[in-house]
Amino acid sequence: MKKNKLINSEISYVISKMGHTDSLVICDAGLPIPNDVKRIDLALEKGIPSFIDTFKVVLDELKVEAVIMASEMKEISPKLHDEIIEILSKENIKIEYVKHAEFKKETKKSMAIIRTGEYTPYANIILKSGVVF
């Protein structure tokens, strides 16, 4: 459910249509995006926009009750992983880890995938919508 200040119309539209447990993906520049899932491509060049900036804005707008991340992120990109965990800890959001191969399968169930310019390996997250009441 939509919360407040996002100005990207495509992302705002997708969030406004989301119900409880629907999912939205934010990904790095390299994640394969299934043909039958809406692609919202924000990538301009390496690092722009960043994964973490995009994640923060979406998290301000979408009520999230759970996330799914690839377990490989903890070892391969620990700095980004720790930053995500710090943000999520303030929101009381449940975290689930799956292998990257399973993560890619899970993206097929998403309402949309937001592609960033991030070049950090495994900078991908599935956000599960909560409810605001």
106-126 pLDDT, tens digit each:
999 999 999 999 999 999 999
Helix, strand, or coil here: 75? helix
The whole-chain average pLDDT of the chain stands at: 95
Closest CA to 70 of 98, 94, 104: 98
Q: For residues 62 and 18, is the Cβ–Cβ distance under 8 A?
A: yes
pTM to 2 decimal places: 0.94
Q: Does residue 20 have an active-site annotation?
A: yes
Cα-to-chain-centroid distance, residue 45? 19
| pLDDT > 90? residue 4 | no
3 band by pLDDT with thresholds 50, 70 and 90: low
Closest CA to 118 of 33, 40, 34, 26: 26
100 is annotated as contributing to ligand binding: yes
43 is annotated as contributing to ligand binding: no
124 is annotated as contributing to ligand binding: yes
Q: Of 20, 39, 56, 94, which residue is the catalytic one?
A: 20
52-98 pLDDT, tens digit each:
999 999 999 999 999 999 999 999 999 999 999 999 999 889 999 99
Give buried/exposed letters for 20-44 (b at 16+ CB in 10 A, else e): eebbbbbbbbebebeeeeeebebbe
How much is the pLDDT for 2? 46
The CATH superfamily holding the domain 9-129 is: RbsD-like domain (3.40.1650.10)
105 band by pLDDT with thresholds 50, 70 and 90: very high
- Structural domain boundaries in the chain: 9-129
81 is annotated as contributing to ligand binding: no
